[in-house]
A and B are shown apart, each in its own frame.
Chain A
Amino acid sequence: MFRNQYDTDVTTWSPAGRLFQVEYAMEAVKQGSAAIGLRSKTHAVLACVNKANSELSSHQRKIFKVDDHIGVAIAGLTADGRVLSRYMRSECINYGYTYEAPLPVGRLVVQLADKAQVCTQRSWKRPYGVGLLVAGLDESGAHLYYNCPSGNYFEYQAFAIGSRSQAAKTYLERKFESFPGSSRDDLIKDALFAIRETLQGEKLTSSVCTVAVVGVGEAFNILDQATVQALINEFEISGEEAPATASVAEEGAGDAAADQGGAAAEEEVAPMDI
């Protein structure tokens, strides 16, 4: 009821103690196409759904390499994400110049969070409308962080943001306990399964998603389309379903069988995200 009175600028509190402009910025994140991240002790994987405005245009880039040991996936206002990626790259380069060592991920996300916080406390600014999943490696292993427009950041074992991310989160919640010990390839497979959850019946192909990995002995790199498609084919052909503990997999449409010749990919109907 009172929302509209107190949401004009970011420096106005509501009577309930909320900053609505910041909350609206977080809504922008939910509107972006899905991005998911997960990690084991030694590797971190980022994956995202590619959205193109039309068949004629190219996909928006949502995963950025920040340094050899850090990468970021974004959801929301991609322009804001691009600018923040540039800031992160700059910070990594400057730290490397001064200390001849890679910038620890934990430090970078704090700097990023502080930068976001500034925009929640200046009347002439607006919050960044982008959520960032920061995957990185440091001396203590692989890490995954989520930075949101409010200036908060959290560390996660696995997380999903963007539209229909709840479906992916449900899948990840079921499987996350096995992630710390997962191998690199299993981690990527789980990422692809999670992405498939957000597609809600749409066919999962490498043209619809992007996958990136960083790990011990492996610099951050975005997997090429052929590699991703091969991995998708692997589990589609074997008819592997997203391993479920309680839910029952339903037989999906037979369109997958038409090109693979194998068992049709089973899809689970997951609850819609808000």
Chain B
Amino acid sequence: MEMETRMKKRIRVEANTEPSESPFEALSEEILFLILDLLDSNPLDKKSFSLVSRSFFAVEARHRRSLTPLRPELLPFVLSRYNSISHLNLTLCPYLSDASLSSIASLLGPSLRSINLSGSRSYSHRGIESLANKCFNLEEIDVSNGVELTDEAAAAIGRMSKVERVRMGRCKKVTDLGIGCIAVCCPNLKLLCLKGCVGVTDLGVALIAVKCRKLRSLDVSFTMITKKCLPAIAQLPNLEDLCMTGCLGINDKALVTLKQGFKSLQALDMSNCQNISQASVSSILQKNPSLHHLNLSYCSPVNSMLSGLHGVFKLNSIKLDGCHVSTDGLKSLANSCISLKELSLSKCSGVTDEGISVIVAKHKDLVKLDATCCRYITDLSLAAITSSCASLVSLSMESCTKVTWEGFRLIGRHCPKLEELNLTDTDLDDEGLTSLSQCQNLTSLKIGICLKITDEGLIQIGRSCPHLQELDLYRSIGITDKGVSEIARGCSNLETICMSYCTSISDESLKCLSNCARLNTLEIRGCSLVSSVGISAIAARCCNLSKLDIKKCYEINDAAMLSFARFSHNLRQINLSYCSVTDVGVSALASISCLQVVTMLHLSGMSADGLAAALLMCGSLMKVKLHVSFKPFISPVLINRVESRGCMFQWLNKPFQVQLESSEVWKQQSHDIFVE
């Protein structure tokens, strides 16, 4: 049967080529390459291109440089077609054996420049060794999340002598020895990420700093390093980006005693380093005039540090999330920096209108301001911001409950360049929303838990913000089908929409939204009016859909799952808890070849056998969340089997809860938390 179909195909192809009068054939390869260069934005365009003719197909194959395969089992076929791939992203292939890596190595050989293995856990050092042996032009490798990788894997990476960028976050079994191999054998290393490599200590990091003098970017977050390796790091001549998040071993003494060094440092991330103080930060700032980005989030003594700042710094961006920042601190920050572009005061306590005003008055070029949970700021702050920062692009004011409609009106009137706006959990109403619609460049609008907004405001947004890509209406219960359909009509670029617990939403909204062909994320949790009809419409027309949350949409049943299985070949993540899906639906879902994360709690129609069959069938699974009551019914052999393919089980014990809690209550709760 297989043979027959193939023969037919061939005959058809020959029949096509015979006339050869097609004008496409006249186009030279260079021209086709130029066309393909311009087709980069949407992956589907290239697929359509390659379907034009055989020569287009071949040209597309030759042109393609980067590839993100969805199904590892087709890799040999795909790679023999695309044999000049230089960037291979395998994050969607959780089951990737050493044998497949060695086949990739032999198929691509020297043309491979970059490979990303961060999504897979099933390969070992032997696969990396075969890459090292055959792909000697490899410049970039990402083996993050390889929690089982050992020093031998690191040594194999060390054998790739041309490698420049190595990311090995969370490789917990790698120790100094492996890092030492990389340090000695990769003199060209420019970027190294050791985030969460808990086996790595000062010795390994210091050796890296001694041997890899070309290093530009180093991430040693969440490692056990102490001050002992800092002098070596400080001597790196080209280091531009240093990330030391959560390094509790780094203390004041280490930083203060550094007489010189970090000459080229531009970005420093010291968030969650709780053992540093004002003295060390100001000494770093004073010694490094080139420092542009500083992250001091969740470092407790930031306030005293800010007051102690003296001198002039060229900082562009500073993050002080989660710290106590007083008005005086902000004043001295405003005075000592020349030109701030980004300021993050998210969850900072002590931020007042005066503080914000001082900052924005001094730094009119501010592009990004994050004032999430700064509960004391009012319309006065917004007046200051809007009057001086005309170039503001991103503003986040989540849970700033004292801001009123007047503030929102100012935003709409004075910030035409605004692209990202987060007003979640504020007192936004239709009037405010209508004035916000003047920001016509908005790409991301988050107006969740704004209980006062209705369709009226949303319609204005839909009519005047055509570039909107992300819309969050979480628990904004005033929204109905009318508003959503206006959005769907006006914002055809929409990629992400969250309408969870907007209980008035029905199939009508989804039918309208199915016009947004780029939609990839849809959250309609708790929209109990939505049925399989609406969701099937989405499935049929939004072929980019990759994340879907339909928890507590009780009306959704197997029919929706079957249409997903048929149309949604890009679905990666789905939550279908509480849906009326049975074994049939689950196994249909399992046939989606790139499905990675599934949450299936309280599916009344699903049996243990159906679940077992689905688990076996769906080879791409990375994470499955199930109710703990299923555990005794699934054979441990099966579980082992699935786990060995790179899947992780999470057994939850959430109680069955049908009733939705009211959104007002939720908002009130959040109030209480913040008032404390």
A, B from the same assembly: no
